[in-house]
Amino acid sequence: MTAPLPDSKQKYDLNFARWVYENVNGGDKLGLCMQCGACSGSCPIGVQMDYGPRKLFMMIRAGMKEEVLSANTQYNCTSCYRCVVRCPRGVPVTYILQDLALKSAELGYAPKTTENVNFAKSFWWSAKTFGRTDERLVTALYYMSFGLKEGYSKAMDNLKIALGFIKKGRMHIGMPHMVKDRKQLKAILAKAREIEKRQ
């Protein structure tokens, strides 16, 4: 198949790669990328991304600022580090995506959908309440953020999977697990907020 010709009307910001290099954590390593695609090929979330990391990195080099900053790629990355482990050139893919998400949001390119925000809120609620992630409660809270009807429907769609997990002992039933020292958890969270304010 012949690759489509570049769109001559497309505006490219040729300073964008330099901006990423200087402002995004790990961006200075982008020059090492040899476009092998090992990162995108091993990413479990790749199908949920507008562009896989390999393509996104090429777009950065090409100066496609608008497309890169408004992509959902950086927000959908789960920081599993699979790409980092497999990258033959030692490109810190995860760090780049994490910081790109932060920088894109700061520049006003927040995700168009609220799904990621709602999931992050559910995750954060569990983390600060229990000091752990309770998959059941995080999932339930996230589903309910779509409204009662849709949340219920999503829960029913995944009920079989949840029961399978319980049967295999991969999901516990009963009260959520909690860190032993909740006082220390509160102190850690207070410190994190203080550092965040300073930044």
Q: Which residues bind ligand SF4 (CB under 6 A)?
A: 33-39, 42-43, 45, 53-54, 57, 77-83, 87-89, 91, 93-94, 97
* CB 81 to ligand SF4: min, Å: 5
Q: How far is the CB of 42 from ligand SF4 (least distance, A)?
A: 6
**HSE of 113, CA atoms in CB hemisphere, 13 A:** 11
Residue 45: CB minimum distance to ligand SF4, A: 4
CB of 100 to ligand SF4, least distance (A): 11
As a dihedral over the C-alpha atoms of residue 114, residue 161, residue 94, residue 53, rounded to 10 degrees, the angle is: -80
User: Alpha carbon of 164 to those of 70, 155, 157, 171, 174: distances in Å?
Assistant: 37, 14, 13, 9, 16
Select 57 or 143, whichever has its Cβ closest to ligand SF4: 57
Which residue, 16 or 57, has its beta carbon nearer to ligand SF4? Answer: 57
* C-beta closer to ligand SF4: residue 39 or 185: 39
Give least dist CB 60 to ligand SF4, A: 11
- Give the three-state DSSP class for 2: coil
Cβ contact 34:89 at 8 Å: yes
In the complex with ligand SF4, the residue whose CB is nearer, 27 or 53, is 53
- Judged by beta carbon, residue 20 or residue 38, the one nearer ligand SF4 is 38
Q: What angle do CA 195, 196, 197 make, to 5 degrees?
A: 90
DSSP state of 108: T
Q: Quick check: helix, strand or coil at residue 117?
A: helix
